[in-house]
Chains A and B, each alone.
Chain A
Amino acid sequence: MPRDTTPTMTSVEGSSDEALLARYASGDGEAARLLVDRLAPRIHRLALRLLQDRAEAEDVTQEALLRLWRIAPRWVAGGAQPSTWLHRVAVNLATDRLRRRRGVGLDTIDEPDDPAPSVVDTMIEGQRLRALDDALALLPERQRVAVVLRHLEGMTNPEIAASMGLGVEAVESLTARGKRRLTELLMGRREELGYRG
């Protein structure tokens, strides 16, 4: 009886992202499906938080993945992880879009005082993460980008500064102001969100 050399679902699913990318480059369509399921939702969430526009977030996710597929045959094993690489590409694509939206650099327009009402009115009860996303959506754009990249994506201030085309001090200022505003927006629902004090 001939031995079945086809990799089992389990062995493929247990592969690293890098191994899956190599499999994709050698023509394994299943590897692409697994990579999409592993990497795309996180990238899409990041893009959505930055851009606050579902269609644009999908465009960014799609473009970032297209770049990953294109580079797959030349991917250098042992370097950056595909997830890290994809994250960086997505951040750059999203911040480029934000710049184009404004028509000028992200650093050239003063942040207006945000006139939006408290997020309390629109928050779904008990859903803290939804409340956070709602509050983020109400932040001025640059503050939102800085807070998301610093506190939700774990990027360093110099990395954020490079992505946004700003100085490190400007990023620190934006992050601090963004956090203050978030606190104000979420303050009214502290007990509902499960935080006491």
Chain B
Amino acid sequence: MTGEHEKSADSGLEALFAEARQAPPSPLDAAFRTRLIEDAARLAQASRIRRPGLWSRLFARLADPQRAPGVAGVAAAGVAGLWIGLSGPGMTGELITQVWQGVAPAAAWSGDETAVFTQSGSDLLALLGDEEP
């Protein structure tokens, strides 16, 4: 092949390549196309069966502190809040009393916590005077 012929043949081949790149592919065989679409439907169906619902996934996460420690902490705080709310102010007052009195038994408290705040300032001073030797 001479140089001139070679150059011409190359350009012809390049043109043929370009034509082939632009050409649309032939349509698929109908049965094969159907098979491909059925594959997609089958996999989608299998994926839906395997995938649990939103609530199932949420509860699964709540039940697994390793996967969602933050969510587990929030859940624990929620339960604690619920307990405090249900236990009512009486029990809360008792709890405060116990804390304020430290190790002293609750029975040693002669009055209740509300009595402290209903006494006037002079009564309190009188009480302090009574305690002086």
Contact = CB atoms under 8 A, between A and B. Distances in A.
A144 interface: no
Contact of B19 (A33, A129, A190): A129
B37 interface: yes
Contacts of A66: 39, 43
A36 B33 contact: yes
Contact of A193 (B16, B20, B26, B40): B16
B36 A62 contact: yes
Interface string A14-37: 000000000010010100110111
Contacts of B26: 41, 45
**Interface size classification for chain B:** 20 to 34
A33 B47 CA distance: 17
Contacts of A32: 37, 40-41, 44
B92 interface: no
Interface stretch (B7-15, B65-73, B106-114): B7-15
B46 to A, nearest CB: 10
A161 interface: no
A9 B116 CA distance: 78
B36 A183 contact: no
Given A44-B28, A58-B32, A24 B21 contact: no
Interface residues of A, number: 36
Nearest to A128: B16
A50 interface: no
A138 B62 CA distance: 63
A44 B33 CA distance: 11
Contact of B12 (A61, A69, A70, A190): A190
Contact of B44 (A27, A65, A154): A27
A186 interface: yes
Contacts of B17: 132, 151-152
A33 B44 CA distance: 13
B23 interface: yes
B121 interface: no
B57 interface: no
A69 B28 contact: no
Contacts of A132: 16-17, 20
Nearest to A27: B44
A62 B40 CA distance: 10
B43 A69 contact: yes
A61 B36 contact: yes
Interface string B24-56: 111110001101110111011001100000000
Interface of B: 5, 8-13, 15-17, 19-21, 23-28, 32-33, 35-37, 39-41, 43-44, 47-48
8 contacts: A36-B37, A41-B27, A66-B39, A66-B43, A69-B44, A186-B16, A195-B12, A197-B11
Closest 10 pairs (CB-CB, A-B): A197-B8, A32-B40, A195-B12, A41-B25, A45-B25, A151-B17, A69-B43, A183-B9, A36-B36, A42-B25
